[in-house]
Amino acid sequence: MITVESALETILKEIKPLDVESTGILSSLGRVLGEDIKASRPNPPWDNSAMDGYALKAEDLERASDAAPVSLNVIYDLPAGQVPKGPVKNGEAVRIMTGAPVPDGATAVVMVERTERGPGGTVLIKAAARTGENIRRAGEDFNAGETVIKSGALIRPAEVSMLATVGAPFVFVHKRPRVAVLSTGDELCDIQEVPPQGKISNSNGYALSALVAAVGAEPIWLGVARDTKESLREKLEIAMKADCIISSGGVSVGDYDFVKDVLKELGSEMIFWKVAMKPGKPLAFGVIGGKPAFGLPGNPISSMVAFEQFVKPALLKMAGRKAVFSQTFSALLTKDIKIKPGRMNFIRAELKMEEAGFEATPLDGQGSGVISTMVRANSFIIVPKDSSGFKAGETVKVQPFDPSILLREKAWY
């Protein structure tokens, strides 16, 4: 058996990012940018008002105050989307809306809250103003020719906003990995059936497809291969058309565990097939026709743990992501953990964020087939392979399934 660390390093060495394709910016969210984005124009494109108020010359307000307001003639109104009708001279003001271009001659904008309409088309300004106050300068955000998003960036809503701002309706992004998902075993039946004696529902196929989709890849569900080399070969030949292959079951040492053998027959270079971890020891990895192929365990929890630790980072790298490793936290253990050393353990746990910090509680029912524990868990406690466990009150490393679990019910302020 190889270690978890060695297995992950070996896998990622074999993974290459997929090519790029063009997509509309509304379809780019969550994708990885495959080109540098350069601005073709400055932002803002011209000086504009940061407030609703009055554009004027700051020098006219040197002595303005609540007690001694300065009266200026309002020469016109300037809504956003309109262009100035003329320059501003001493003793004049333009009633301006947020975002409207600043007229020539104006050196400041006074917010409307510091003003009062006066008689006969005048305005009373009740505060002095600094030159440049409440004016957004042209190019303040970025200038034409600047790189505003670098290749390799994950496209979030902020990046979508930037793409729209620079006028980029289409961008090149790394392709989504197309992942063939295959379950194996004569014992599997459709989830709409009531399993007869000796059969179980095919939960792995659906769980793995969901995990693939959650990573942002595209699952291709191939159904079930029966426990014959012929059935398995037929399914795997179809799976080779995808970018990545995931099968579950058939990678142990039973008489009907054919996945490793058939992968070899199809030309796969089998790199390893046992990892020193629990759950998830019988895990095969190879490369077939240049495509990574994962043979995950048949037990539901084992396959989900193996996916999280190995398949997820591989798919993220294929999609062009630079950051592919799950975040971990230090947490205070609330209950003892006792295990047999020799394999890295992934203990299903409930992670909570308390006032004093994170607390992790290992859940009862850690068997590889206990799906209810996985439903109740939101994280793994990671126990190193040489450890025999931890005592309550010790600090442990925790890997959350999703960082959003750390959102709190109460406000942070």
| ∠ Cα 84 90 95 (to 5°) | 40
Q: Could you tell me which residue, 201 or 210, shows the higher pLDDT?
A: 210
Under the banding of pLDDT at 50, 70 and 90, the label for residue 250 is low
288 pLDDT exceeds 60?
Answer: yes
For residue 168, the domain's CATH number is 3.90.105.10
For residue 362, the domain's CATH number is 2.40.340.10
151, part of any domain: yes
Q: Same structural domain for residues 342 and 289?
A: no
Residue 235 domain boundaries: 4-17+176-318
Q: Report how many domains make up the chain.
A: 4
> Which of 285, 318, 351 is where one domain is finished?
318
**Enclosing H/E stretch for 13:** helix 4-14
pLDDT of residue 406: 67
Q: Same structural domain for residues 76 and 123?
A: yes
The mean pLDDT of the chain is 92
Q: Same structural domain for residues 340 and 314?
A: no
Q: Same structural domain for residues 28 and 97?
A: no
pLDDT tens-digit series, residues 299-349: 999 999 999 999 999 999 999 999 999 889 899 999 999 999 999 999 999
289 pLDDT exceeds 80?
Answer: yes
43, part of any domain: no
Give the integer Cα–Cα distance in Å for 285 and 300. Answer: 18
> Which of 318, 338, 365 is where one domain is finished?
318
Classify residue 53 as exposed, middle or buried by CB count within 10 Å of its CB (0-12, 13-18, 19+).
buried
Under the banding of pLDDT at 50, 70 and 90, the label for residue 253 is very low
Closest alpha carbon to 149 in 160, 139, 135: 160
Q: Are 358 and 333 in contact (CB under 8 A)?
A: no
pLDDT tens-digit series, residues 384-407: 999 999 999 999 999 999 877 666
Q: Same structural domain for residues 297 and 182?
A: yes
| DSSP of 28-48 | -TT-BB-S-EE-SS-BSSS-E
Q: What is the mean pLDDT of residues 67-71?
A: 96
**Enclosing H/E stretch for 203:** helix 203-215
6 pLDDT exceeds 70?
Answer: yes
Q: Could you tell me which residue, 253 or 67, shows the higher pLDDT?
A: 67
390, part of any domain: yes
Q: Same structural domain for residues 228 and 194?
A: yes
> Which of 260, 291, 318 is where one domain is finished?
318
pLDDT of residue 284: 87
pLDDT tens-digit series, residues 140-177: 999 999 999 999 999 999 999 999 999 999 999 999 99
412, part of any domain: no
42, part of any domain: no
pLDDT of residue 270: 79
Q: Same structural domain for residues 99 and 13?
A: no
Under the banding of pLDDT at 50, 70 and 90, the label for residue 409 is low
Query: Where do we find the tokens 């060495």?
Result: 13
With a pLDDT cut of 70, the percent of the chain lying above it is 95
Query: Where do we find the tokens 């790189």?
Result: 147
Under the banding of pLDDT at 50, 70 and 90, the label for residue 255 is very low
pLDDT tens-digit series, residues 221-232: 998 888 788 888
Q: Same structural domain for residues 168 and 180?
A: no
Other CB atoms within 10 A of residue 66 CB: 10
345, part of any domain: yes
Q: Same structural domain for residues 165 and 30?
A: yes
Closest alpha carbon to 230 in 265, 202, 204: 265
Q: Same structural domain for residues 239 and 341?
A: no
Determine if the pTM surpasses 0.85. Answer: yes
Q: Alpha carbon 52 to chain centroid distance?
A: 37
Determine phi and psi for 258, rounding to 5 degrees: -105, -5
C-alpha distance from residue 368 to each of 204, 279, 298, 304, 361 (Å)? 12, 6, 9, 10, 18
Q: Same structural domain for residues 65 and 193?
A: no
99, part of any domain: yes
For residues 12, 16, 20, 25, the Cα torsion angle rounded to the nearest 10 degrees is 0
pLDDT of residue 254: 47
Tokens, residue 395: 């600090």
Min mean pLDDT across 90-99, 102-111, 174-183, 400-409 is at 400-409
Q: Same structural domain for residues 260 and 160?
A: no
Q: What is the mean pLDDT of residues 6-32?
A: 96
For residue 117, the domain's CATH number is 2.170.190.11
Tokens, residue 72: 């200026």
396, part of any domain: yes
